[in-house]
Each structure stands twice: as C-alpha cells, then as structure tokens.
Amino acid sequence: MLGVVGDSATGKTTLTAGIAKILGKDRVTTICTDDYHKFDRVERKELPFTPLHPDCNYMEIIEQHLKLLADGEPILKPIYNHKFGTLDRPVLVTPEEYMVVEGLFGFYSKPMRDCFDVKVFLDPPEDVRRAWKIKRDVGKRNYTEEQVDADLAKREPESEAYIRPQRAHADIVVRFYPPGPDLDVDASHYNVKLVLRPTLPHPYLAEIASATRTAKYEPIRFSLARDRGQPVDVLEIDGTVPDEVAASAEQIIWEKMHKDGKLDANAIGLFAEGDQQRVSGPLGLTQLLIVFQLQSARAGFEFS
C-alpha cells in the first residue's frame, strides 16, 4: 500500500495516476482521503476550521478503512464531490493487488502510518503550489482567483499544524520545482529533489549517480545530507536531463525489478497537462523509484 500525502494542489493525483499507469491500472485501487470530509462546502462556511483540520474529517474512519484495505477487505467509501462541494452516496471499493491512497491526511496517526509500505510526501515550494492551485480550482472547481488566495491564507495555520508535520513520517519527500524564478515554465522541465529516508533501502542510488555523471554536467546528483537534523540521501534530477541520461538511470532501477508482464515501461514519465500528454525525466525517475519500492514491499509480502 502506497500513501501519497501533501497539501492541496501539490500534485498528488498527477503522481498517483502515473504510478497506477506504470503498475497497470487494473491491478491498482486508488482512493483519496479527501472523501472523508465530515461537512459539505455550505456547512463549512459556518465552521471555524477548514478541511485541513482533523475535526473536519472522519479521522477514525480513515484509520479504520486503511486497516481494512491493508487487510484486503472491501470498504464502503464516502464521496466528497470536489466540483460541487457536496457529500454524495458512498461507493464500494475492493482492494486490488496494489492500493494507492492519496490525500491531505494519511500519515497523521500511527495506526494510519502502519498501514503503508511506502509513504511519500509531496512538498513543492509554496509559490509553485499556489500557481497549481489557482490553475486547478479556478478551472475545475468553480472558484475565483481571489477565493483561492483567501482560502490559502485561511488554511495556512492548519496546514502548518496538521498537514506539514506529516512530512516527517514519509519515507520519500518529493519536491518538484521550476529551474528558475519563472513559474510559468512547462512542467516537463521541472527539476525534482527527492529526500530519501533510510526507512527504505535504495540499492540503485550509487549506481545511478556514477552512471549518469559526465565531466561537464551532472543532471542527476546524489548526496548525503541532513533533513531537519536527520541523515538522509538526497537525489536531485534536473528538468534539463537529456533523454538518454534519464533513460539510463531508469534502466538501472528497471533491471532490479521483477518484470511480470503487466508493468508498462511506456508509461514512465508521462503526465497530462490539460489535454496534452507530456513526458518528464525527473517525474519518470520518481515514479519508477516508487514503483520499485512498492514491488519490493509486495514481493516481501508474497514470499515472507
């Protein structure tokens, strides 16, 4: 079971959709913990907190449902309709071979965290997140730009108190960011910085770093660092990474994986931007690294 947690508009759906495609959609069940809102949009107007507050969500039911899914049991999942802000009729969710859980919460309590094999936290710079949020909420959720800004300001204290602390519990922290100060750059050119905590083994790292190092320019960099005081590996991949360099790095991870005939190598790095299908080397490597971890967890589960 993979958890992808992050504040709103941090790219959770983009990441999880790509991972599901690589794994093979028919054996992946994806759910979103935003569906566990207690109140609809109208009711929330009367309330002193935002959806980022635990009291605004059925936290104990998130825990219960994660446990049931981790045990292979079906759940009747509530539905929050993001477009209209309503709570709709629930749906039956049956766990497939792989479970992907995305949302604001997921690593909040220990019982939740204990359900996951791989925990990913999305952590883009705030200005990038704001740009993404405006693009999405104005385009698809019937908000105005002013409403989005007011919403961000209102949410900030709760984001700090309840969402961002979950970063500490992630195995992998993912930060996509534009190469320069211009936010309006094609997302396929974004750099990525991955913080890799030693809670998972990464047997491909040294190999990738040495194989992709060139005399003049290192588009993929690997370093030992501290994150909030704790030792971590950091993997940085530039958006300008040449296709063949990205491909050779992907190949190193790919070779360590169990090819079961369902994995789709052609989906690596693909993402949708509006109606456009794009490819990103940094995204591809990030996806593949997470898929490797999921597959390893599953192999441990199958053979243990």
Least separation in angstroms between residue 90's CB and a second copy is 5
Least separation in angstroms between residue 109's CB and a second copy is 15
Least separation in angstroms between residue 87's CB and a second copy is 4
What is the C-alpha to C-alpha distance for residues 43 and 184, in angstroms, rounded to an integer?
A: 35
Crossing angle for the helix pair 145-158 and 126-140, nearest 10 degrees?
Answer: 130
Tokens, residue 70: 């981790």
Q: Which residues bind a second copy (CB under 8 A)?
A: 36, 38, 40, 58, 60-61, 64, 68, 73-76, 78, 86-90, 92
| Cβ atoms within 10 Å of 2's Cβ, excluding its own | 26
Nearer to a second copy, 68 or 211 (CB): 68
Nearer to a second copy, 1 or 75 (CB): 75
Q: Is residue 229 helix, strand or coil?
A: coil
Least separation in angstroms between residue 78's CB and a second copy is 5
- Show the CA angle centred on residue 7, arms to residues 159 and 91, nearest 5°: 115
Least separation in angstroms between residue 83's CB and a second copy is 16
Nearer to a second copy, 76 or 168 (CB): 76
What is the C-alpha to C-alpha distance for residues 214 and 225, in angstroms, rounded to an integer?
A: 22
Nearer to a second copy, 38 or 119 (CB): 38
Nearer to a second copy, 68 or 131 (CB): 68
Nearer to a second copy, 58 or 254 (CB): 58
Q: Please list the residues that pair with 5 across neighbouring strands.
A: 103, 121
Long-range contacts of 87-95 (CB under 8 A, 24+ apart): 87/37, 87/39, 87/40, 93/29, 93/31, 93/69, 94/29, 95/29, 95/69
What is the C-alpha to C-alpha distance for residues 192 and 284, in angstroms, rounded to an integer?
A: 10
What is the C-alpha to C-alpha distance for residues 161 and 153, in angstroms, rounded to an integer?
A: 14
Least separation in angstroms between residue 117's CB and a second copy is 23
